[in-house]
Structure 1
Amino acid sequence: MDKLEKLLMPLASAIGKNKYLMAIRDGFLISTPLLIVGSVFLLLANFPIAAWTDFVENCMIGDFSLATLLSKQSDATFTIMAIFATMGIGYYFAREMKTTPIFGAAVALMSWFILMPYNFTAK
């Protein structure tokens, strides 16, 4: 075990000090609350008990079932999580590079929007 520790500790230390990987790690930490909230809604919408599933699918609120409404919440949080992670990675990378972090977040966000593929359908 000591030999394995002596071999892997310098490698883990080098990876842990890498500014690119640290920025990615810290950027994803910003989106963790969204991941937790979205997961709770996803669990409520798809809980693996037949009685609960039947209740959620048959309980109507307006024109929509409760399952549909709960699924929309999880879809929204998981979708916006990409934007938060992108901004967080840009922010923390700019901070690692000793520049203004908010500009790093703004550049990352604008780059994400520029590179995001969009589909438009003609009517």
Structure 2
Amino acid sequence: MKKIFFVSLALSASLFAADNDLVMATTTSTDNTGLLDAIYPAYKAETGVDIKWTAVGTGAALKLGENCDADILFVHSPKVEKEFVEKGFGVDRTPVMYNDFILIADKSIAPKFKGKDLKG
């Protein structure tokens, strides 16, 4: 996953390298994972580009992108992201991560989930 993230950011960095800052709008859940804090030093060392990010909800992050207040968005609403690009506010949508939820429970509740779309 990190390689995809670095590739996406590296491409963005080349587009915005003139001012040597990359402004990212991300979701609070992504920021709360600590992922950005963990990979930022390596990215800065490799590219020399400083990332400044703000953590907000997906809708607010998309609005920042729409208003050109962010160079790159790190959000998680595939349908809305595709619409954002289709409307001309973004140039590319690259999936970077996904959530994987695992239900751990007694087998006796398994019939409650039979036939349900658990990927939706």
Is TM (by shorter chain) over 0.5?
A: no
TM-score, normalised via structure 1 length: 0.19
Bigger fraction of residues in helix: 1
Bigger fraction of residues in strand: 2
Q: Which has the larger radius of gyration?
A: 1
